Amino acid sequence: QAAEKEGYEHFMIKEINEQPKGVHDTLHRRLNKEEKIELDGIKLTKEDLDRINKVYIVACGTAYHAGLVGKYAIEKFAKIPVDVAVASEFRYSDPFIDENTLFIAVSQSGETLDTLAALREAKRKGARIMSVVNVVGSSVARESDDVFYTWAGPEIAVASTKAYTTQLVSMYLIALNMADTKGSISQERYTEIVNELKTMPLKIENIVKNDEDLQKLADEQFNKENAFYIGRGLDVCVASEGSLKLKEISYIHSEAIAAGELKHGTIALIEEGRLVIALATQDRLYDKMLSNIQEVRARGAYVIGVAKEGNKEIEKTADKVIYIPDTMDELTPILSVVPLQLLSYYIAVARGCDVDKPKNLAKSVTVE
């Protein structure tokens, strides 16, 4: 195994470093000569799309968090209503499925039993089944009508990193392809987003290569027993993934909430020294996030802000700020999750945890 780690201390940090390649491969294998997205031969015609009245994205764990971003992208660009469900709940919720439903399963391993069972249920009810899967030929892939592979390469660490960022890119590609086919996006906007997606590998690399501040922060904060991740809009999806990453490998109790919900309960838990990670990457919600940061700081929280380069206002309210390279609001999740992965990793290392194999967790959960 030491050889497979290629000099890295853990698979997780190796896989974090492999994200620029995974994102690059997932994207570039789908761009044709005209820089148009092609979904590996998946035929979603305008007639198909006009007929689809509902999309369900179903997954577990990290893949579910990618689904949350998928919902945002499909609704925003393709203008089709989307529900996202955790697979273990989906089957028992009497989902509204018929032959006009598109069911999208997201799974790294393609073997998660709950996801597979949900897929079978949707198929039985007549839905068209698409899957976003990393492992070629896995059960989810085999049982789907259409498969869209993430090109992350094998992921060994239990905590998912490169599978997540490649799932995000896949969701954007599917959403943009649908929008283009439907005609619900202008060509200028489509090209602008595709061009921005192409800058992602280099931007991720910048974050990963300059992680000294995150290591320092981890060394200062690793003793905390609780953490809260807050954000608004797309940042809530990333907050959920950041929080999961921290709790699964460092065993710090952690939760993610929409910042606007703080005042409805969670703020009661904010006290001196409480660790709050505040994502403030969405331009149109930036000011609202700054007041949420003030709210928790006034109660003594230690706030690590995550913002886009150039948005310096946050330095006045947060204790520390982690900057991500500038990008359009719609695509920030691909970047903002990376410092959260690194922070969790360094905190878990500082706590002496078994980073690649956290207790009680499995890479692939093949039981219900």
**What x/- string results for residues 259 through 278 when contact with ligand G6P is judged by CB under 6 A?**
--------------------
Residues from 112 through 171 that contact ligand G6P (CB under 6 A): 112, 115, 158-160
* 148 close to 42: Cβ distance less than 8 angstroms: yes
102-110, 121-129, 287-295, 342-350 -> range binding ligand G6P (CB under 6 A)? 102-110
Measured on CA atoms in the order 142, 49, 104, 154, is the torsion positive or negative?
positive
60-68, 94-102, 230-238, 256-264 -> range binding ligand G6P (CB under 6 A)? 60-68
Our finding on whether 175 is near ligand G6P (CB under 6 A) is: no
For 341, the token pair is 């992965």
Q: Please, which residues have CB within 8 angstroms of residue 70's CB and are 6 or more apart in sequence?
A: 57, 82, 84, 104, 106, 171, 174, 175
Our finding on whether 26 is near ligand G6P (CB under 6 A) is: no
Sheet of strand 302-308, all strands in order from the earlier edge strand to the far edge: 253-258, 226-231, 275-280, 302-308, 320-324
Closest distance between ligand G6P and the C-beta of residue 273, in Å?
30
Closest distance between ligand G6P and the C-beta of residue 131, in Å?
10
Our finding on whether 62 is near ligand G6P (CB under 6 A) is: yes
Nearer to ligand G6P, 13 or 307 (CB): 13
Nearer to ligand G6P, 295 or 356 (CB): 356
363 is a catalytic site residue: yes
For 309, the token pair is 């380069």
* 234 close to 72: Cβ distance less than 8 angstroms: yes
Q: Which of 12, 37, 60, 342 binds ligand G6P (CB under 6 A)?
A: 60
Contacts 24+ apart (CB under 8 A), 178-182: 178/44, 178/49, 178/74, 178/77, 178/78, 178/80, 179/77, 179/78, 179/79, 180/36, 180/37, 181/44, 181/45, 181/46, 181/49, 182/46, 182/49, 182/50, 182/78, 182/79
Determine the residue with CB nearest ligand G6P: 61
Q: Which of 26, 108, 336, 344 binds ligand G6P (CB under 6 A)?
A: 108
Q: CA 330 to CA 196: how far, in whole Å?
A: 10
Please give the radius of gyration of the chain, using alpha carbons only, rounded to the nearest integer.
20
Closest distance between ligand G6P and the C-beta of residue 80, in Å?
23
Residue written as tokens 């149109």? 284
Nearer to ligand G6P, 129 or 158 (CB): 158
Q: CA 25 to CA 20: how far, in whole Å?
A: 9
For 151, the token pair is 């090109």
Our finding on whether 254 is near ligand G6P (CB under 6 A) is: no
Nearer to ligand G6P, 135 or 301 (CB): 135
Q: Which of 63, 84, 169, 290 binds ligand G6P (CB under 6 A)?
A: 63
Closest distance between ligand G6P and the C-beta of residue 66, in Å?
9
Single out the residue of 167, 174, 169, 175 nearest to residue 146, CA to CA. Answer: 174
Max CA distance (Å), the chain: 57
Could you tell me how far CA 328 lies from the centroid of its own chain?
16
Closest distance between ligand G6P and the C-beta of residue 182, in Å?
28
42-50, 59-67, 225-233, 338-346 -> range binding ligand G6P (CB under 6 A)? 59-67
Single out the residue of 349, 307, 323, 368 nearest to residue 159, CA to CA. Answer: 349
Our finding on whether 109 is near ligand G6P (CB under 6 A) is: yes
Closest distance between ligand G6P and the C-beta of residue 207, in Å?
21
Size of the site for ligand G6P (CB under 6 A): 16
User: Interface residues with ligand G6P (CB under 6 A)?
Assistant: 60-63, 107-109, 112, 115, 158-160, 361, 363-365
Q: Which residues are designated catalytic?
A: 363
